[in-house]
Amino acid sequence: MTSPTVYLDHAATTPMVPAAVEAMTAHLLQVGNPSSLHASGRHARRVVEESRETIAQALNCRPGEIVFTSGGTEADNLAVKGMFWSRRAEDPRRTRVLTTAVEHHAVLDPVRWLGESEGADVELLPVDDRARLDVEALRAAVERDPAGVALISVMWANNEVGTLQPIDEVVALAAEHGIPVHTDAVQAVGHVPVDFATSGVDALTLTGHKLGGPYGVGALVVGREISVRPLVHGGGQERDIRSGTLDTPAIAGFAAAVELAVKQQAEHAARVGALRDDLVRRVIDAVPDAHLHGAQLDSGQARRLPGNAHLGFPGCEGDSLLMLLDARGIECSTGSACSAGVPQPSHVLLAMGCTAEAARHSLRFSLGHTTTQAEVDAVVEAIGPVVERARAARR
Amino acid sequence: MRVIAAMSGGVDSAVAAARAVEAGHHVTGIHLALSRNPASYRSGARGCCTIEDSNDARRAADVIGIPFYVWDLSERFHEDVVEDFMDEYAAGRTPNPCLRCNEKIKFAAVLDRALGLGFDAVATGHYARLHTGPDGLVEMHRAVDHGKDQSYVLGVLDQQQLRHSLFPLGDSTKADVRREAAERGLLVADKPDSHDICFVADGDNAGWLREKLGDRAPNHGGAIVDESGEVVGEHTGTYGFTIGQRKGLRLGRPAADGKPRFVLDIEPVSGTVTVGPRERLAVHRLRGIRPRWCGTVPGRLEGTVQLRAHGEELPARVDVGEDGVEIELLEPAYGIAPGQAAVVYDGTRVVGSATIAAAERVPA
Ligand SMILES: Cc1ncc(COP(=O)(O)O)c(C=O)c1O
């Protein structure tokens, strides 16, 4: 009860870094709407525009390509719906939306909504048992009717099992047919190298609270040539794509966090990746039938997020494990979305071919910038007895 | 002790959890998800299966300052409670799903899981009292608030289950519990009580059964006859009736004597419902099966029985035999249906219960 909390749920949200807290608080007491013409407004606008430039530099995009939003969910909705609407307005044959079966709900749900309410033809593409997109299935789907495809959305990195998607292959394929590609890079920025211009994607989502910035702020990076119908109408502050008075302090904190996260990415990945490898190996030593979901450790950095350890513990309920670890001050996640308060087996694991049973015995530890060796040691020490207990509770 | 507090989202279980904390226990709150898809059983109305209830329970746990989780028991609940409820009605009996849920879910599936996880007890907001008797056995007694007493629906618990149960509200009145909830800042303080069966919307049993039973219903209609066999009406399924029922019979003609008529008999195979005057419902002897005893199995006992939730207590002689329980009622009971539970009391103490298999009527 007295030991400090072991926080291993960085994929849900990660603590703000001091640089972001400083940048944010520096502006909290300063008045000024960045749209106002007077000095206070000009000052706020300067903060916003400098932040935009900072982020642009970190992601290798142009400042004008950044649309600030209230976070990842809004940016994903804007990309999916906004690009669908404008592509179909240009050519009514473009009704197809291609995405993967393992997207975050912030993509899946708007895509489904387009299917149910806007007449979109939705295809959720299959993944392999490591959650990696089957590019040949995507190729076949595109080639069935390339002129009908409004957009392709494929996440950069999966939030549950940490699998990195073959974005370059997706982009190459889409380019053959002039189809725009959106990617949800919420879990990727700061953890793996993300370069907007080089990647060739047309739109990219990121959010503050997964990389050391504040909650409630994020961005959609949209290529200049891409047109996106707005989701939120109003003052048209952001390129007429997004309206609403900009949150200057949050944007300043967001930019500081992005800058730092990208600058330290390689070092961070090496350090956190080593801790993660240690955690996985020693947990499996302690619980021999435990297994890692997603890309295996020896598959290299290009396959898996460095901080993600998604493990299956046969014979246990993930819920029981989570609760028992929580009682010992160790915080992680089952990764299962809570639909209507009832834990549902994860759509990601089901898409990877796990049975509903196997999907329920899973636990996600996600490591981040504050993770220490002592925290890993604490998990390794607790996991054996906890798994034993959880198995007893199942019978 | 390490205690699991089952929190429904209502005021009683919230206060029970708070009191367990105050008694010095290490308490973890849980909400039971009893339906995979909450809207499928019940929507809008008060019940144990809505998202709102789950959120209310979570908020209460946060206010009390205890960890909170949702436990998915929807499969067990469906198999052990909902299926049984449907089968019983299809067979012309009248089940009590709340007893069943206590026996199979709250103090079985939940308790087993809790014990497996290293907890010592399950606390609920039921109104009943527990204390250890001179023989070292845990006794269950009626609650101080007789109007709220819920010992009837707990009459299925055996000694093993009672040993791991906590009912922190047994010594309180409902009014006190509401007042305490308000004082503790629990926003559920003025939430209305739930009364109906939690998974049946708006108390419409017959409508719910019609929809869920579908092809499993023994019939979807038949005759309503009087005791002489004369057809006096028709119905859309025997499962819509309970013995003793008076409302909703929609009989075309009034009885010759002008008195109200009641359901006397339900025959699912032929699809016949028999009606008659109230006197004909009078029962003086019951046979019970599947007995469950809270403590030592009694041989013979003179005490009281209660035959339905919030029903009256009737003096009775109870004989426990090899293959069941014989209950002789010293005063007649009316409207007794097979499937209901007879809970036996010795004073305020719950002795045990049995499921009514047959009710013998006073000869005409
Ligand atoms: C892959 C992914 N996309 C989108 C989101 C949503 O981002 P936000 O919380 O900023 O709305 C998350 C965060 O849960 C995520 O992991």
State pLDDT tens for residues A329-355.
Answer: 999 998 765 544 566 789 999 999 999
The CATH classification of domain B218-276, taken from the options 3.30.160, 2.60.40, 2.30.30, 1.20.120: 2.30.30
Mean predicted confidence (pLDDT) in B261-280: 92
Domains of chain A: 18-263 (3.40.640.10), 265-394 (3.90.1150.10)
CB contact under 8 A, A342 and B35: yes
A338 is a catalytic site residue: yes
Longest Cα–Cα distance in chain B: 66
- For residues B340 and B309, what is the distance between their CA atoms, to the nearest angstrom? 10
Optimal mutation site among B117, B119, B122, interface A, most CBs of chain A within 10 A: B117
CB contact under 8 A, A327 and B28: yes
Other beta carbons within 10 Å of B133: 12
> DSSP string spanning A339-370?
ETTEE---HHHHHTT--HHHHHTEEEEE--TT
Optimal mutation site among B40, B52, B113, B120, interface A, most CBs of chain A within 10 A: B113
Mean of the per-residue pLDDT values for chain A?
A: 95
Chain B: residue whose CA lies nearest to A316: B117
Mean predicted confidence (pLDDT) in B79-94: 91
Which helix (H) or strand (E) segment holds residue A373: the answer is helix A373-394
What is the CA(A72)–ligand 1 centre distance, in A? 5
Query: Residue B154 burial by CB count (10 A; 0-12/13-18/19+): exposed, middle or buried?
Result: buried
Please give the pLDDT value at position A341.
56
Q: What is the value of ipTM here, to two decimals?
A: 0.83
- For residues A170 and A185, what is the distance between their CA atoms, to the nearest angstrom? 14
Question: B281-361: which CATH topology?
Answer: Elongation Factor Tu (Ef-tu); domain 3 (2.40.30)
Angle (nearest 5°) at CA A244 between A242 and A246: 100
What is the architecture, at CATH level 2, of domain B2-183? 3-Layer(aba) Sandwich (3.40)
Higher pLDDT, A340 or A62: A62
Main-chain phi, psi angles of A222, to 5 degrees: -125, 125
Mean of the per-residue pLDDT values for chain B?
A: 90
Domain boundaries, chain B: 2-183, 218-276, 281-361
CB contact under 8 A, A320 and B113: yes
Q: At B300, is the secondary structure helix, strand, or coil?
A: strand
Stretch among A22-31, A142-151, A186-195, B82-91 having the lowest mean pLDDT: B82-91
> Which residue, chain included where needed, has tokens 């029922």?
B245
Please give the pLDDT value at position B192.
76
Q: Which of the four pLDDT bands, split at 50, 70 and 90, describes residue B42?
A: very low
Angle (nearest 5°) at CA A352 between A347 and A357: 65
What is the CA(A183)–ligand 1 centre distance, in A? 12
State pLDDT tens for residues A248-264.
Answer: 999 999 999 999 999 99
- For residues A91 and A85, what is the distance between their CA atoms, to the nearest angstrom? 10
CB contact under 8 A, B72 and A319: yes
Chain A: residue whose CA lies nearest to B110: A393
* Residue of A103, A186, A209 best suited for mutating to test ligand 1, as the one with most atoms within 8 Å of CB: A186
Other beta carbons within 10 Å of A25: 12
Mean predicted confidence (pLDDT) in B199-228: 87
Cβ neighbors of A52 (< 8 A, separation 6 or more) are A63, A66, A68, A251, A255
State pLDDT tens for residues B62-77.
Answer: 999 999 999 989 889 9
Q: Is the pLDDT of residue B48 over 50?
A: no
> DSSP string spanning B83-101?
HHHHHHHHTT----HHHHH
Stretch among A204-213, B29-38, B82-91 having the lowest mean pLDDT: B29-38
What are the beta bridge partners of residue A292? A311
Cβ neighbors of B25 (< 8 A, separation 6 or more) are B1, B2, B3, B121, B123, B166
> DSSP string spanning B232-255?
EEEES-GGG--TT--TT---SS--
Q: At A159, is the secondary structure helix, strand, or coil?
A: coil
- For residues A274 and A38, what is the distance between their CA atoms, to the nearest angstrom? 51
B2-183 and B218-276 in the same fold: no
Please give the pLDDT value at position B43.
43
